[in-house]
């Protein structure tokens, strides 16, 4: 089955920054699943996967505008430490450069800690990979037709039902 609009694609990936090294590797966990053709995936990856099928391997290097965009200078924000996601309310020692999840009206968003205060953090809301040229090694694991539910919700649902995070 070929990848196209309304197909659910599952793939493993390794992403690295040329000259810097590996940033992420999904192979230790479950493959990433997304609904193709609904802007759920960075454009360069979606474009590269179009027309491919399960079992294929591809390597693609993307400029920032095909990946996470250029860095925005106005993305620095001061946020309450209480707005950071802390699993089980654990105490976290925040340090500059650390990537944390910020609770927003639109769900969780990764931000980079710039400066640490007593009750506030200065964070950079640019995606941690914004402004970077990224190399992706992708192994396509599975391609299937999306369910009517998935198309209606415009995203893939994990096996065993789905959970909306509000």
Strand order in the sheet with 99-104: 76-80, 120-124, 107-116, 99-104
78: Cβ–Cβ under 8 A, 6 or more apart, which residues? 120, 121, 122, 123
Q: Are strands 57-62 and 76-80 parallel, antiparallel or unpaired?
A: unpaired
CATH class for the domain made up of 76-124? mainly beta
pLDDT at residue 74 greater than cutoff 70: yes
Its CATH class, for the domain covering 7-69+130-153, is alpha beta
Average pLDDT (26-33) is 93
pLDDT tens digit sequence for 78-90: 999 989 887 766 6
Domain residue ranges in the chain: 7-69+130-153, 76-124
pLDDT digits (tens, 9 = 90+) for 99-132: 888 888 878 888 899 999 999 999 999 988 999 9
pLDDT of residue 107: 81
């Amino acid at each position: 089955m070929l990848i196209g609009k309304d197909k659910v694609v599952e793939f493993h990936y390794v992403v690295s920054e040329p000259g810097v090294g590996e940033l992420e590797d999904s192979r230790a966990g479950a493959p990433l699943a997304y609904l193709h053709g609904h802007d759920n995936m960075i454009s360069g990856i979606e474009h590269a996967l179009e027309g491919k099928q399960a079992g294929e391997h591809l390597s693609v290097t993307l400029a920032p505008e095909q990946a996470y965009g250029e860095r925005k200078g106005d993305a620095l924000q001061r946020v309450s430490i209480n707005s950071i996601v802390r699993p089980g309310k654990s105490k976290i020692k925040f340090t500059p450069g650390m990537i944390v999840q910020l609770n927003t009206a639109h769900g969780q968003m990764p931000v980079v800690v710039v400066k640490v205060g007593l009750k506030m953090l200065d964070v950079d809301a640019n995606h941690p990979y914004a402004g970077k040229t990224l190399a992706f090694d992708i192994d396509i694991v599975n391609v299937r037709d999306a369910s009517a539910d998935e198309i209606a919700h415009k995203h893939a649902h994990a096996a065993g039902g789905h959970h909306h995070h509000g």
